[in-house]
A and B are shown apart, each in its own frame.
Chain A
């Protein structure tokens, strides 16, 4: 009995150690330069002049689930020249050239710079540190949230990976490579609902919209007349409602406002509707509508994708809605009122509530006349 207990405890101990060992093994990412020696600590950071705590903690188990997990720290933080390093003056921006491995197609170090530059030429342009009106605009990380759990990450099919493994031997490498390429092929962009939610985060923020509209007004270049109600009016539109249902067929923000020639280029280079290159410029709108509405012509532009029943934006529609409300309710009240009046009026002839042969006429009349001849 004693022996049994001892062996049982030993087994539990070994199991615990093994599992712990497993979890830490999964959490580690390549840290050849021992940055984590300091940066693994949760309270690693500094307090600014304003009393704000700036955290420099990099939790290994979180970082190893992100898209940059295989990029060595100093590929991006390339201003660090010695360890321990001096205080950092400027941080990393998304135009950093990283990856020591060169891009085989161009021979250049890999970088997000082409997209970053495109973004800087768009209507959303801003730097990593921005103030005033620019601070309202989205930076790269506003949309590229780098989620820890990627629902689109699927387990590579064994039959495919088995083939690669024969030459490339290391299963980890094969799996990573498969995920990296397949993720692009699988078209893992946001759904229609998610796109609308993303854009609406800012474009339904009334205070922010008013700030920008007022500033543009002062600068002498007023913004588009639907700017203030963009998100709200879209939700009321046919496209907005279909998207809200979870269906993918209807136009979302990016389908019209981003150039669809190259979708991924287009969404980073969104231009103002005043810009002749924008798909929502009056010269280009018919083509934009024709992406889905094959019979659209110039006259189709009269249909409003951002409709509003507000008196300020469309007094005719506002009146139409008001009249419909009055007439609709009025008709119902009048008809039902007339029916009730009739029911009470007919009581003079002896309306009863007894069921007899499918009819309820079986009560003495209030006029005190003998209506029914006794049979």
Chain B
């Protein structure tokens, strides 16, 4: 495979940061040489352990995700019967918990847990970034910070789905979809905490805010809280869960949120630049790939099916 300029840059940066010895560099370059140009051919022929092959999420991130989704779902389930208290299902649910007063108390307690989780997450990000900076291992491309590349990737991906591109773009550790979701969830949670605090402390907010704002603030928060919650619930239930568990290639479930590892076929398909870095950082992965590519000549397979020698892709293809 002839790497695109983008991929080449990412690979070189990784090798430099990891201070990869020459022997290993050579090995990585040889493996890349053996790879077919068509990534689909590659990922369709690797064998993946369904519970994950390559490291992706640290234990802190996994704990935070568990905390976030459990508080989120419980908050939604205790919030819905409060907002829709007239509905036929709300009364039995509330009395099952011990009355609407108890539902409200549970809701507020869980909100405190969610705030703790958010603080824990910010602390993890800050600490993790500082550690990486100190060790000289920080790479902005491997973070969830949105970049212009993500916009380009989104455009290319949509064109691929429409049939006007031959391959999906080479995406980084967090593709555009995950960045959208991360910031949507972060924003949504912040709105929920803010509007929830307006419910709990209306007098304190009114005394802090400038007088022109206070008139609208309370009622906009009262509007925002249930609307944002419902939006978040619908997005999680129908979008997030679909993408992680129900989509073709993931069904019946993806294990990454528990094991912190991603399957290699997923990594090659959707996070190829990160896969290249995995080759640099994980000797076991190099060994597996070497075994595979030495056993099956995928480049030959590709030449046979296309009837022409492979050529280097343009950037972004």
Contacts and interface: CB of A to CB of B under 8 A. Distances in A.
Interface of A: 238, 241, 244-247, 289, 293-297, 299-300, 302-304, 307, 309, 314, 316-317, 320-321, 324-325, 328, 331-332, 335-336, 338-339, 341-346, 348-353, 355, 357-361, 365, 369-373
A300 B203 contact: yes
Contacts of A360: 248-251
A179 to B, nearest CB: 30
Contacts of A307: 218-219, 222
Contacts of A353: 248, 251
Nearest to A244: B85
Contacts of A328: 227, 230-231
Interface of B: 40-41, 44-45, 48, 50-51, 82, 85, 100-101, 157-158, 160-163, 180, 184, 199, 202-204, 206-207, 209, 211, 214-216, 218-220, 222-224, 227, 230-231, 234-235, 238-239, 242-243, 247-255, 263, 265, 296, 298, 301, 304-306
Given A247-B100, A293-B203, A324-B227, A303 B238 contact: no
A201 B313 CA distance: 76
Given A355-B251, A373-B301, A304 B219 contact: yes
A345 B305 CA distance: 22
B165 to A, nearest CB: 10
A345 B160 contact: yes
Given A324-B224, A351-B249, A359-B50, A342 B202 contact: no
Given A317-B216, A373-B298, A238 B207 contact: no
Contacts of B250: 359-360
B301 A370 contact: yes
A174 to B, nearest CB: 38
Contacts of A345: 160-163
Contact of A359 (B85, B239, B265, B304): B265
28 contacts: A245-B85, A245-B101, A247-B101, A289-B203, A297-B207, A299-B207, A300-B203, A300-B206, A302-B215, A303-B214, A303-B215, A304-B218, A320-B220, A321-B223, A324-B223, A324-B227, A328-B230, A331-B235, A332-B234, A332-B238, A336-B238, A339-B243, A342-B157, A342-B161, A345-B163, A346-B248, A351-B249, A370-B305
Contacts of B253: 358
A353 B243 CA distance: 15
Contacts of B214: 299-300, 302-303
A361 B242 contact: no
Given A238-B222, A300-B206, A373-B45, A246 B249 contact: no
A195 B215 CA distance: 27
B41 to A, nearest CB: 6
A246 B253 CA distance: 43
A373 B302 CA distance: 11
Contacts of A358: 50-51, 252-255
Nearest to B302: A369
A282 B100 CA distance: 34
Contacts of A246: 100
A300 B207 contact: yes
